[in-house]
Structure 1
Amino acid sequence: MTDPLDKAPADVPPDGGQGDSPRKDTAAHPGPIKAVPVRHYGRWIGAVVVLGLLALLVRAFADAQIQWSVVGEQITNGTFAWGAWETLKITVYSMVIGVVLGAILAVMRLSPNPVLSSVAWGYIWFFRGTPVLVQILLWFNLSLVFAYLDLGFIYKDEMNQVMTPFVAALLALGLNEAAYMAEICRAGIQSVDSGQTEAAHALGMKGGKTMRRIVLPQAMRVIIPPTGNEFINMLKTSSLAFAIGYGELFLRGREFGSRTLAIMEGYIVISLWYLALTTVFSIGQYYLERYYARGSSRSLPPTPLQRLRKQLSSFRVQSNVGGVKV
């Protein structure tokens, strides 16, 4: 006697109902799609308009009564080169004062001691609320308040012997920069997770060591970019020192224009020197930011050359539709 389950239903053919037709693979992938990239005509029109405006600007300067031979001669003249050196020197010294004092003020702002935090807040409030030019003039005319200097180990009969144009510009620029650097450092310190500090304290590390070894190294990623911008800004702000007779780049160019009546030529030489200095330090700032970005991103930011190649190839965007690049 046979089992009824072994018998196939009478209405179902042995091949599963498909008969003699071959089985089709319904899971097959379709063929690649031929995608046509979108033409960005607006980019080309915008590029043509910008190039046209630049050409008009260049033509205006070329047709102006400017002695370009004088510009070429003075660009490497010792007068302007020495002025650029004085500008660079006052910038570096002022930034050193600003960074060191700014870091101290940032720690004071974050201190639970109300006296320290209040003093730091008052310092930042005053130096950020008054113009740099006014601060330069205040320091230079300090002899109207203090006729002589007596610190015990230093004695000068006249304050003017101490408050030279260089010292007045250095104090004004450095102390003013410290107010801005204090806020930059404070933002960087607060960007570090508080758990890092708690873990360091749990391991027995003191507050100062925790700040030096744990917090500040992680905060540098946030502090470095605005600090580089402040340095470049300081490089240009130092030109305000001409008001007290400090021989920086702008004063040398102004004296050259007054002496030779080549006013526009002198200003062009000044601009070229400032552009050269800011370009060099901008490149250095970029690679410094790239260095400190290693711990926060999986891939490093592109270099300037890589960015230039990307911009040149951005007029035509590659299409990945259907898995095929066109």
Structure 2
Amino acid sequence: MLVTSLVSNENYQWDIVFQYFTSTAVLEGLRMTLLLTVVAMVVGVLLGIVLAVARDSANPLVSTAALLYIGFFRGTPLLVQLIFWFNLSALYPVLSLGIPFGPTFVSGSTNALITPLVAAILGLGLNEAAYMAEIVRAGLQSVDHGQTQAAQALGMTARQVFRRIVLPQALRVIIPPTGNQTISMLKTTSLVSVIALPELLFAVQIIYSRTYQVIPLLITASLWYLILTTVLTVGQTFLERRLRRGDHNRPVAAGTDSTAAVDDSIDGPVDLAKDRSR
């Protein structure tokens, strides 16, 4: 019945859907959506790594600061954060860079600096970092500390231990949820329509505010979101399979020394951790 309705109900206006599907305005909005997704995820991943390291720091001030950051950005709605960044000029009309209580080197109008694009990147990227911090932290903690100690006992440097022992195993835990976060970010970019950034949803809103063809244009946007999320899902699945292909599933027998396990992997990455993302 649903399929019949989709075909026979003229209110869907499929001709209008496909008329605007590849229109210039919609494609420009699509480009902005992809740009926001990539930039926000890069900011989120890089800052998330820093926060993950800071979260496990032996320095209580650094650890507490990271914990407060994560708690704040995970505990407040993303939409509120976006609106806050967009209206930052109400709190700070002028932004300055200089020495505290000393000379100011650069200053400028907040309205000129915090454009809708900048506000969107700040809101999406800083919020994403709070979630990526926990994902990265979980991945690093999934590696048995005994392997790190064994590698150090074999004379490997800290960089070698991280690159050849910790990272290959941690990535198997980090990548699946990071892929999910990327797909979620693609859809979350639609929230920036409230700050008048011309991404995909805002682009169709502008069109149907003139034509009053609300439903077909929302279908147009939905189809593009479905296509993009499908492509990302296929890419994520392919990447996960590639990672599992390197997993030889070599169980460590009872009583096996960790040093021996690490010694077998000097010429290649160690993989003793199970994929905990499943």
Scaled to the shorter chain, the TM-score interval is 0.7 to 0.9
Give the TM-score of the pair, scaled to structure 1. 0.71
How do residues 139-288 of structure 1 correspond to structure 2 at under 5 angstroms?
139-152=85-98, 155-207=106-158, 209-288=160-239
After superposing the two structures, state which structure 1 stretch, 191-200 or 85-94, moved more.
191-200
Asked if residue 57 in structure 1 is aligned to residue 8 in structure 2, the reply is no
| SS at structure 1 position matched to 2:65 | helix
Distance 1:266 1:181 in 2: 33
2:276 alignment partner in structure 1: none
Distance 1:167 1:262 in 2: 31
Q: Determine which of 61, 84, 88 is the counterpart of 2:30.
A: 84
Query: Would the aligned equivalents of 2:97 and 2:107 in 1 still touch at CA under 8 Å?
Result: no
Query: Would the aligned equivalents of 1:143 and 1:160 in 2 still touch at CA under 8 Å?
Result: yes
Distance 2:248 2:19 in 1: 47
**Structure 2 unpaired stretches of 5+:** 99-103, 250-278
| SS at structure 2 position matched to 1:228 | helix
1:21 alignment partner in structure 2: none
Query: Would the aligned equivalents of 2:82 and 2:123 in 1 still touch at CA under 8 Å?
Result: yes
**Structure 1 unpaired stretches of 5+:** 1-55, 299-326
Q: CA deviation at 1:154?
A: 6.4
Aligned-residue Cα RMSD (Å) equals 1.6
Q: CA deviation at 1:157?
A: 3.4
| Structure (1 or 2) with the larger CA radius of gyration | 1
Distance 1:109 1:204 in 2: 28
Query: Would the aligned equivalents of 1:156 and 1:162 in 2 still touch at CA under 8 Å?
Result: no
C-alpha change, 1:219 and 1:272, in structure 2 (3 Å) is same
Query: Would the aligned equivalents of 1:80 and 1:249 in 2 still touch at CA under 8 Å?
Result: yes
Give the TM-score of the pair, scaled to structure 2. 0.83
Distance 1:205 1:121 in 2: 31
One-letter code aligned to 2:41: M
| SS at structure 2 position matched to 1:106 | helix
After superposing the two structures, state which structure 1 stretch, 82-91 or 210-219, moved more.
210-219
C-alpha change, 1:292 and 1:206, in structure 2 (3 Å) is same
Distance 1:206 1:114 in 2: 26
One-letter code aligned to 1:146: Y
Q: CA deviation at 1:64?
A: 4.2
How do residues 10-49 of structure 1 correspond to structure 2 at under 5 angstroms?
none
One-letter code aligned to 1:76: T
C-alpha change, 1:127 and 1:143, in structure 2 (3 Å) is same
